[in-house]
Amino acid sequence: MALTDSATGKVIRDYSIEQLKDAANMMRGYDLVELCAAGSGHSGGTLSMMDIVAALYLHVANHDPKNPNWPDRDRIIWSAGHKAPALYVGLGYAGFCDINDVVTLRKLHSRFQGHPHWLKLPGVEVSSGSLGQGLSISVGMALAARLDGKKHKIFCLMGDGEKQEGQVWEAAMEASHYKLDNIIAVIDVNRLQIDGWVKDVMEVQPLEAKYASFGWEVLRVNGHDMKQLVDAFEKAKMIVGKPVVILADTIKGKGVSFMENVAGWHGKPPNREELDAALKEMGLTERIPVEKLLDRAKNYQAGQDRELAAKMPKFSRDFWWNSGDTMKVKMEPTRKGFGKSLANNGSDERIVCLGLDISGSITISDFYTGKPERANRWFSMGIAEQSATSAAAGFAREGKLPVLGSYATFMSARNLDQIRVSICYGNFNVLIAGAHGGVSVGPDGATHQALEDLFAMQGLPNMSAVVPCDIEETRKATDYLLLQHVGPKYIRFAREATPIVTDEKTPFVFGKANVIRLRKESANFADAFETRLASDYNNESEDLSILACGPMVPEAMRAAFILKQDFGYETRVLNLHTLKPIDAEAVISAAADTGVIITAEEHQIGALAWRVSGLLTESKQLYGKPVITAAIGVKDRFGDSGSPWEMVKELEVSAEHIAQKAVELMKIKKK
Ligand SMILES: Cc1ncc(C[n+]2csc(CCOP(=O)(O)OP(=O)(O)O)c2C)c(N)n1
């Protein structure tokens, strides 16, 4: 079949093999333009997929762009959600949306989220981004189709690295068990993943034999030969009694010579020069209106900028980071503090590090980089968070000091049962790094923004949880957790550069809060504040307290500055870097001394706020004393694509939002 009018059953348009080849080439061009306009995103795997996408969306799948929810349509499930830009040009070319709109990719409120969201864009069947889930969704859809007597097919698109997720094989078993011949899986076998070649990261081959032994029909094609692809799809549709998988051999970065077979292009967009060179190589310079498209993206962004600015709380002047002549701050990503600590301490022979195919960007690779003598204590585990978590427990049982890390959401949610039973119940000494925490992955969107991880991590008996506020505190916290603290431990840090507000001399004591007080406006932001251990601090009867952790500590400090400048209020900022065990004494003293408590967390409200409110309600010291409270944090919603700082504003977790709330509470206090 092909693009069909669901009302009449007539074919709207069919493409010849030559036309499909040309469309795939054009789609590669649009793919690179949208990635360039976004300034982030996945080039390599979208280019390797594009012939498959053209064949499927323009020729093979039976669907109607004017009626995207047509009950009889074929379903296309993008298990590899990071290839969203290819999906979007597929939809654009098939007529589900305007191809010119895809350049709003990864921008705030765009329908073209960093990872696909079916509630935003018609034609997207399900939301994805956490690898390894699409085949299971396909099984559910295939069984539902059988129940309803429907004849449509479910195509499921996956990567070869993705095969490392155990869930894929659970689904493969189910599809075979139920003889789901309405499933046609396609694997983009480009042999690369983030950390390098699949065979080196964690071998998944021989896929042919594996799928065959699971009871699947296996077809193998050159994924860049349009005729072979189309024939394989047609053949797959005719197979009865078992699911079919098409193994498509491809080249990552296909079509752009400097991207082909280069692992570094996995999650990188082309800049303008690279875009021009790529389009020239593909013969598309004259065929794609690059300037117009990039302008469209810029205009969209300008509109978002205006709307966001209008929504921000207003003060006497702009207090945003580095907007004035004084109070200048340096920023660096907290993740680098984690890597530094691993590099410094890694010679301890007990330490073993487990890689989960995101090693460079979370800096766990600093453990072995330039230190070949440590190579035998580095274990690449592939994209397999669940198994690696239990493996870490095994290492710990044998007296090793295992460290593992990935995106905080995949490192705390996907493997939660393994953390709970394998690690926490056994009280094993494992350091779990929740990297890229909070909104710091920005344009990747909601699937990748960890905004719930601290609920689970704090809720587990035996687990300790630390959320350092800057690069220096992350280094100190890692030093401590790695070599001194024994037991299950979770450290959460960020991807984006955030303000540096501590130095070598700033105290860091596990389980003990710091009090931070604004003393005087200074050239450098950090110099304007004095920091002491809460236990060494004498009450100054401040007007209010802001209790914060992680990157919200600098925001709380900036809020203290705004409150002093515009309203004359004195603020006690409490840095609660250790969330569990929390420094109860410091929290209760702040409430008793100031009577106003605002919690600030870059997380769904509650990880910090509810712990604090639990302490306040149970404290005998506070019986009969009024304490006015409020919580700044994410208000029970998912994030969105957008730059990390845009998300800080959009989710209302900036210093301005804290200060606005403080002014509200101070009015109540004064009554
Ligand atoms: C559960 C989960 N863990 C980690 C990631 C981060 N991640 C995104 S893409 C990717 C590599 C995927 O490799 P592969 O399936 O081979 O795709 P391709 O190389 O074709 O892009 C990883 C680890 C993720 N999205 N989901």
**Is the CB of 115 within 6 Å of ligand 1?**
no
What pLDDT digit, counting tens, does each position of 527-576 carry? 999 999 999 999 999 999 999 999 999 999 999 999 999 999 999 999 99
In the prediction, which pLDDT does 632 show? 98
**Is the CB of 80 within 6 Å of ligand 1?**
yes
Over residues 517-527, mean pLDDT: 98
**Is the CB of 190 within 6 Å of ligand 1?**
yes
Tell me how crowded residue 504 is: count the other CB atoms within 10 A of its CB: 7
Specify the DSSP class assigned to residue 66: T
Q: Which residues contact 88 (CB under 8 A, 6 or more apart)?
A: 34, 97, 102, 105, 112, 121
What pLDDT digit, counting tens, does each position of 192-244 carry? 999 999 999 999 999 999 999 999 999 999 999 999 999 999 999 999 999 99
Residue corresponding to tokens 């960007």: 361
Over residues 277-305, mean pLDDT: 98
DSSP-derived pairing of the beta strands 401-407 and 431-435: parallel
pLDDT at 487 over 90: yes
**Is the CB of 41 within 6 Å of ligand 1?**
no
**What is the 410 CA–ligand 1 centroid distance (Å)?**
11
Q: Whose CA is nearest to atom 18 of ligand 1?
A: 45
Ligand 1 atom showing the smallest separation from residue 81 Cα: 25
What pLDDT digit, counting tens, does each position of 614-655 carry? 999 999 999 999 999 999 999 999 999 999 999 999 999 999
Q: Show the tokens assigned to 255.
A: 């079509």
Q: How deeply is 375 buried, as exposed, middle or buried, from its count of CB atoms within 10 A (0-12, 13-18, 19+)?
A: exposed
**What is the 116 CA–ligand 1 centroid distance (Å)?**
14
What pLDDT digit, counting tens, does each position of 396-440 carry? 999 999 999 999 999 999 999 999 999 999 999 999 999 999 999
Confidence label for 662 from pLDDT (cuts 50, 70 and 90):
very high
Q: Which of 82, 204, 404 has the most ligand 1 atoms within 8 A of CB, as the residue to mutate?
A: 82
Ligand 1 atom showing the smallest separation from residue 447 Cα: 25
Phi, psi of 18, deg, nearest 5 = -65, -40
Over residues 268-294, mean pLDDT: 98
Ligand 1 atom showing the smallest separation from residue 188 Cα: 20
pTM above 0.85, yes or no: yes
Expressed in angstroms, the distance from the first to the final Cα of the chain is: 72
Nearest to 221 by CA among 257, 189, 192: 189
| Complete edge-to-edge strand list for the sheet that includes strand 244-249 | 75-78, 154-159, 183-189, 244-249, 217-222
Confidence label for 332 from pLDDT (cuts 50, 70 and 90):
very high
Q: CA-based angle 300:304:305, to the nearest 5?
A: 115
Q: Whose CA is nearest to atom 23 of ligand 1?
A: 357
**What is the 56 CA–ligand 1 centroid distance (Å)?**
22
Query: What's the rounded Cα separation, in Å, for the pair 54 and 181?
Result: 23
**What is the 193 CA–ligand 1 centroid distance (Å)?**
7
**What is the 45 CA–ligand 1 centroid distance (Å)?**
10
**Is the CB of 193 within 6 Å of ligand 1?**
yes
pLDDT at 90 over 70: yes
In contact, 602 and 437? CB cutoff 8 Å = yes
Nearest to 180 by CA among 201, 150, 219, 210: 150
**What is the 48 CA–ligand 1 centroid distance (Å)?**
14
**What is the 80 CA–ligand 1 centroid distance (Å)?**
7
Confidence label for 597 from pLDDT (cuts 50, 70 and 90):
very high
**What is the 555 CA–ligand 1 centroid distance (Å)?**
32
What pLDDT digit, counting tens, does each position of 338-360 carry? 999 999 999 999 999 999 999 99
**Is the CB of 104 within 6 Å of ligand 1?**
no
**What is the 238 CA–ligand 1 centroid distance (Å)?**
31
3-state helix, strand, coil in the chain (%, to 5): 45, 15, 40
pLDDT at 2 over 90: no
In contact, 114 and 41? CB cutoff 8 Å = yes
pLDDT at 1 over 70: no
Phi, psi of 334, deg, nearest 5 = -60, -30
**Is the CB of 358 within 6 Å of ligand 1?**
yes
Cα torsion 446, 450, 453, 454: sign: negative
Query: What's the rounded Cα separation, in Å, for the pair 656 and 251?
Result: 48
What is the rounded average pLDDT for all residues in the chain?
Answer: 97
Tell me how crowded residue 277 is: count the other CB atoms within 10 A of its CB: 16
Query: What's the rounded Cα separation, in Å, for the pair 264 and 229?
Result: 27
What pLDDT digit, counting tens, does each position of 24-73 carry? 999 999 999 999 999 999 999 999 999 999 999 999 999 999 999 999 99
**What is the 25 CA–ligand 1 centroid distance (Å)?**
24
Q: Which of 51, 190, 194 has the most ligand 1 atoms within 8 A of CB, as the residue to mutate?
A: 194
Query: What's the rounded Cα separation, in Å, for the pair 36 and 34?
Result: 5
